[in-house]
């Protein structure tokens, strides 16, 4: 009996607290011309805005473009921007397939992490659309040059039949090896693939594909190659 009385008193105490704070909150909201329904509408509006408003980007085109073209006069920056968008598409397609074998290095590790997050779920990315791609960073020393592009994009993420519109952004990093002998082996293992069979080339020094034997163009000192993709 004492236990039952204690439970009833506890329930009454909780109910009193609930109504007390409910009245206080409603009074506070009325001071600003708001109601609980208004707050719910604001939250829903913010959620919809998050789905529709593209992610912001910090463009450094004006700062770095001239410097990049001075160092690499034959560089087509617009073409490399398009290439970085394709790298992002390939990244998401690998996640959708649940197979990162077409990727390498840091990009492969990032994809594998996302694949693990979606394990057991039927995931797809549909109606992919890029809003903008900008030059976001450039750095060069005597051994290596690093060039980064940032992209804002949207897609519909379909997970087990439930589709949600997402606004996203990612930074794609390219490296250009000036002196192969002066950089660490960990940096050399970047995303280069055989032009014949598509197999990954493990180091910049390889002359022939270890899988099909096709000749590999000398990469050192000739092209930028994708080294990393980071969503942020």
Predicted confidence at residue 188, as pLDDT, reads: 47
Predicted confidence at residue 12, as pLDDT, reads: 80
Q: Looking at the DSSP assignment, which residues form a beta bridge with residue 148? A: 137, 173
DSSP summary character for residue 139: E
Q: Kind and range of the H or E element at 171?
A: strand 162-177
Interval 38-64: pLDDT, tens: 555 556 566 666 778 999 999 999 999
Residue where the block lists tokens 């014949």: 196
- Of 84, 104, 109, 94, the C-alpha closest to 171 is 84
Can you say how many angstroms the Cα of residue 154 is from the centroid of all Cα atoms in its chain? 11
> What are the start-end ranges of the H helices in the chain?
2-31, 36-52, 61-71, 77-97, 105-117, 185-188
Q: To 5 degrees, how large is the angle CA 15–CA 16–CA 22? A: 90
User: First vs last Cα of the chain: how many Å apart?
Assistant: 59
In the chain, the percentage of residues whose pLDDT exceeds 70 is: 72
Interval 135-151: pLDDT, tens: 999 998 877 889 999 99
Structure tokens given for 67? 């410097």
Helices 36-52, 2-31: inter-axial angle, 10-degree rounding: 70
Q: How much is the average pLDDT of 15-25?
A: 75
Which is more confident, 130 or 188? 130
Structure tokens given for 189? 């293992």
- Of 131, 124, 170, the C-alpha closest to 53 is 131
Alpha-carbon radius of gyration of the chain? 26
Q: Kind and range of the H or E element at 99?
A: none
pTM above 0.85, yes or no: no
């Amino acid at each position: 009996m004492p236990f039952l009385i204690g439970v009833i008193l506890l329930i009454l105490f909780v109910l009193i607290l609930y109504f007390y704070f409910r009245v206080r909150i409603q009074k506070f909201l009325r001071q600003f011309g708001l109601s609980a329904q208004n707050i719910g509408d604001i939250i829903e509006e913010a959620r919809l805005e998050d789905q529709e408003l593209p992610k912001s980007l910090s463009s450094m085109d004006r700062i770095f473009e001239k410097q990049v073209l001075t160092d690499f006069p034959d560089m087509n920056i617009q073409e490399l921007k398009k290439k970085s968008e394709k790298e992002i598409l390939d990244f998401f397609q690998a996640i959708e397939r649940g197979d990162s074998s077409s990727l390498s290095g840091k990009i492969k590790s990032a994809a594998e992490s996302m694949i693990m997050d979606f394990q057991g779920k039927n995931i797809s990315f549909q109606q992919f659309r890029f809003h903008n791609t900008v030059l976001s960073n450039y750095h060069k020393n005597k051994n290596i040059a690093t060039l980064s592009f940032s992209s804002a994009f949207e897609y519909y993420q379909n997970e087990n039949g439930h589709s949600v519109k997402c606004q996203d952004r990612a930074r794609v990093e390219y490296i250009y090896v000036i002196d192969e002998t002066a950089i660490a082996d960990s940096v050399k293992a970047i995303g280069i693939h055989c032009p014949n069979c598509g197999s990954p080339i493990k180091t910049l020094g390889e002359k022939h594909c270890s899988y099909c034997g096709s000749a590999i163009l000398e990469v050192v000192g000739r092209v930028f190659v994708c080294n990393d993709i980071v969503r942020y």
